[in-house]
Structure 1
Amino acid sequence: MVPVSPDVAHGKRLLTPPPVAQLREDPDQLIELACHGLATAAPEYSAWGVFVPWQRVTLIVLAIAALAGLLVAPAATCIVIIAVVTIAYAVALGYRFVLFRYGARGDRMVTVSDEEAHSVPDDQLPVYTVLVPVFHEPLLGELVERLEGLDYPRHLLDIRLLLEDDDDETVTAARSLAPREHLTVVRVPPMKPRTKPKACNYGFLAADSGMCTIFDAEDAPDPLQLRRAVVAMRRLGPQYACIQARLGFYNASQNLLTRWFTLDYGSWFGNMLSGLVSLGAPVPLGGTSNHFRSDVLRGVGAWDPWNVTEDADLGLRLHRAGYKVGVLDSTTLEEANSDGINWVRQRSRWYKGYIQTFLVHVRRPRLVAGQLGLRGVAGLLVFIAGTPLLSAFNGFFWALTAMWFTSRDPAVAALFPSAVYYLGMVCLVLGNLAVLYMGVFTARQMERPDLLGAALLMPLYWGLMWLAALKAVIQLVTKPSYWEKTAHGLDQQQTVDEQSAVEGAPDE
């Protein structure tokens, strides 16, 4: 591998990996590259270490200053902290609403009709690598059958099931799969970190293709999605490195949590991402159904195996390298998280990864400001860092609000001088109304009137977000690269339980 200086990275390339043929012949070099390639060639772009020295010193100084202020002038210090956080809340709410309104226009969503998708002759289509990382997934047969529904020439399709070598359950299931020329079972050596992006690197770097995408084990993609992505990328031009398809759920009506999750994703993939594209801000990619130009993906270092939201990080890295990301009007259905504890585990990993990503991309402030520009820096600060950190503060402000309404304690009122109080009221009233409006709008946009009730109950959903954000902040210090796997198949388990209950009812 030939390292490239981060200062040269603005010229689009971070590193040059060895040829694919060489990596196929040398699995030791391949796994080393998958685990440490980015950290070795461009360490300032890797989450291998959480904090660089100046960040650690800054946090310590701020903590000492806050503690000293609380000891010397507690009232004034609390007012300053609350004022800063309140201003941040107002900016973040305003920014998200602007993103939503820009995205709701729909003019940034790339639409490719069925006829256009089928119009490209097979001899003009690229080889397409489909990466499917799986872990403790015994139902591989069902997964493969869903992937067989992809409408793409089989001689140009390179599906790679990525299995951990010591995952006996999944390895055993893979042995029962019928052989297919376009399907490869890749056994990833059990080398730290044990993360999805490491497995994706291991599978991707040994693949020779023009385009690449990722699907999760429970995904049910639009059959024409690969063809649509090819047409869309050619339409957009070489400055675009990736196009993100939308994600939706096939079990949206399972319970209240899945309805909230559906609205959350509907707003995110239907409006927020398009809004970011409209504003020229970096687009934090989703973990699946993102379609890349393979040569560009190699050049920017592929996925960071030490970042637990490798997708969001990669979106930032592509933007810093001068590339753009588009949004594709094609949907992949997956399973909405229906269990509260499981949801908190998943969302806390996402939040932790957002903070990781922020810390990585502000290591050289002057360089990143030049690469991202003003709009990009605003997106990095307000959207990437602000989303988890402000969610973590919610519990504190809820507690203050509850104290005021129950006790009318003048000490609480003293923490909110007039300017801070009125700005806080704007956040409380207009901010909450704006969020409720976005939920209702999304339900209408999706033509899902059954989600209207869930949209009006969204404030309860924010309580789960607070728990996830709090856990993320704690884990960032204690387990920065720990990957909490999301349990899948809960929708099927509920169906089985319901059928068992019905079948067993007469005997009770």
Structure 2
Amino acid sequence: MADGWGSDNLIAGLRTGDAAHEADLYDAAHLEWLRFGAENDLLEAYPEASCKRGVTTAQMTFVKQVAAVLGVGVLLVPMSLFSAISALAFFVFFLLIIYRCVLLCAGFGSRTTSPLTGDGAKRRFIWPRYSVLVPVFREPEAIGPLIAALKGLDYPKRQLEILILLEESDTETLAAIEQLKLRPYFKVLIVPEGEVQTKPRALNFGLKLATGQMIAVYDAEDAMHSTQLKDAVRAFQYAREEASSKPLACVQAPLIPHNSGESWIAAQFTQEYRVHFGLIVRGLSTLRLPVMLGGTSNHFDRAALEKVGGWDPYNVTEDADLGLRFAAAGYRVGHISPPTFEEAPIGLRQWIGQRSRWVKGFIQTAGVFFRASPASRIRVMGLKNYVSAVLLLSGSVLSAVFHGPFALWLVAQAVLPGLTPPSEAIILCLTGFSVHILSVVMSGALASAGAIRALITAPFYWPLQTVAAGKAIYELIVRPFYWDKTQHGVSVKSLSRKQLRTVKV
């Protein structure tokens, strides 16, 4: 809620673009109100949507019942049980492959249908007040390039505010910011310590002090295309002119790693991103299906964001959860073309830390989503949206958990004497790999020899997800709300503003 809390030059007594001193605008009670709301607004308004509640009694009962049935099956009919589970698994994964193919085709077809090009881009628009939220934690080395990228945003500065969200303990990043000359539309907001320390909690805190009708989110390592804000405004304007019954809540910009050639992991990660944001997200938004958002370069209608309760501060994959809540509330998510460039992880340890957080968040999101019965979910979302959401969640979690065991089982079947891989397993592998090759080609991610090597060796990359899934499940038990922060600034390659301006969209 912005009313009464914001100021053009000073926010919450913290560093701003034209003042390097502290201003005690709020007393302790006001700051406590902000802190408490950032952590508990969603829980109080929509308790069923908050993952802080954990597993419900009904869910635990269901898990116990399934475990009991499986236990009895292992004791009495182990081979029949194995055959039934195998048949079910093959059916599910074939269904996921078909679903992916539909999204790929829809996403590829949408590339030539954007109204934001040609005559549509020349229309005159009224630019609303825009608040850009940038949560930063222990990223002193990223501050210089980040501020430079944010300064390059093409938007009327009188209608723009950029809130840099720092945790109270992050003195090193604050020191780095104090070395810079910030413009008046920059404000540095210190987020006080609380029950959890997560990115969505910081975003909720910033949202309460933001003054914009539009809200954008960027990460510390982002180098965003200068036209993103204006393209987002245009997308919302066109959406209001459509006869669609579903209002637009958010548009997602594509994320593209700029250091794909730095390592094998970085090349694999880049191809994932190019397919996901270049085709899958486009396909979902074109078909008006729920979109599990990426964690950055989202552009929100503030009213819609507040209506669904903002971010869940206890969910470590916060925007995946938010995308499903938008769908449940009758909103849709769109896409825009101007990209944001990011740093791909270059080492296995860095990659596992990030991927395990994602898998943990997907499991948290699935736990919240499946609290309600299928009938009640379908009644609220519609059958098409419900089925798509189930496939999105199940695909994200099941592929991470079972890639490793399936690969080991398949290798064992192939090399141990007397065993032969089942024909359906071979067909499944060949089909999945063929779809992957097609998707990478369609995404345009084969621009180098390294990219071709990454494509050919992708089957060795996929089982690594199971290592990350194991870490995610362990952390979900011992510290469910812990945010495993990705280390940035590791890459030796960077993207200059000159290079960014030459990107075609």
Cα distance change, pair 473–242 in 1 and its aligned pair in 2 (3 A): same
- Give CA-to-partner distance per residue, 1:351-403, whole Å, 9 cap, x none: 11112111111211232212222221222222222222232112222222222
Aligned counterpart, 1:454: 454
Shift of 1:43: 0.8
Aligned counterpart, 1:342: 350
Identity %: 34
Measure, in 2, the Cα distance between the counterparts of 1:409 and 1:194: 54
Measure, in 1, the Cα distance between the counterparts of 2:123 and 2:110: 24
Aligned counterpart, 1:32: 36
* Amino acid in the other structure paired with 1:440: V
Shift of 1:142: 2.8
- Give CA-to-partner distance per residue, 1:57-107, whole Å, 9 cap, x none: 111111122122212222222222222222211111221122112211125
Query: Is 1:68 the equivalent of 2:68?
Result: no
Aligned counterpart, 2:482: 482
Aligned counterpart, 1:503: none
Q: 1:89 aligns with which of 93, 97, 100?
A: 93
- Give CA-to-partner distance per residue, 1:156-192, whole Å, 9 cap, x none: 1110000001112112223223242201100001112
Aligned counterpart, 2:443: 442
Cα distance change, pair 154–118 in 1 and its aligned pair in 2 (3 A): farther
Measure, in 2, the Cα distance between the counterparts of 1:213 and 1:232: 14
Shift of 1:260: 1.3
Aligned counterpart, 1:499: none
Cα distance change, pair 144–196 in 1 and its aligned pair in 2 (3 A): same
Measure, in 2, the Cα distance between the counterparts of 1:109 and 1:371: 30
SS in 2 for 1:205: helix
Q: 1:136 aligns with which of 119, 138, 145?
A: 138
Shift of 1:109: 6.3
Shift of 1:119: 5.0
Q: How do 1:307-322 and structure 2 match up within 5 A?
A: 307-322=315-330
Any unmatched runs of 5+ in structure 2?
Answer: 7-11, 13-25, 241-245, 496-505
* Amino acid in the other structure paired with 2:293: L
Measure, in 2, the Cα distance between the counterparts of 1:326 and 1:484: 29
Q: CA contact under 8 A between 1:130 and 1:159: conserved in structure 2?
A: yes
Q: CA contact under 8 A between 1:279 and 1:375: conserved in structure 2?
A: no
Shift of 1:288: 0.7
Larger relative helix fraction: 1
Aligned counterpart, 1:172: 175
Measure, in 1, the Cα distance between the counterparts of 2:113 and 2:276: 13
Q: How many residues align?
A: 467
Shift of 1:118: 6.8
If the length of structure 1 is used for normalisation, what is the TM-score?
Answer: 0.87
* Amino acid in the other structure paired with 1:37: D
If the length of structure 2 is used for normalisation, what is the TM-score?
Answer: 0.87
- Give CA-to-partner distance per residue, 1:397-441, whole Å, 9 cap, x none: 22222222222446xx7xx9xxxx443332122222222222233
- Give CA-to-partner distance per residue, 1:90-134, whole Å, 9 cap, x none: 11122112211221112586452498657536xx21111001100
**What is the CA RMSD across the aligned residues, in angstroms?**
2.3
Aligned counterpart, 1:184: 187
Aligned counterpart, 2:203: 200
Measure, in 1, the Cα distance between the counterparts of 2:54 and 2:493: 38
Between 395-404 and 204-213, report the one with greater CA deviation. 395-404
Any unmatched runs of 5+ in structure 1?
Answer: 1-17, 496-508
* Amino acid in the other structure paired with 1:175: E
Measure, in 1, the Cα distance between the counterparts of 2:472 and 2:104: 25
Q: 2:308 aligns with which of 300, 307, 315?
A: 300
SS in 2 for 1:333: strand
Q: CA contact under 8 A between 2:404 and 2:462: conserved in structure 1?
A: no
Q: CA contact under 8 A between 2:403 and 2:465: conserved in structure 1?
A: no
Measure, in 1, the Cα distance between the counterparts of 2:118 and 2:107: 24
SS in 1 for 2:299: strand
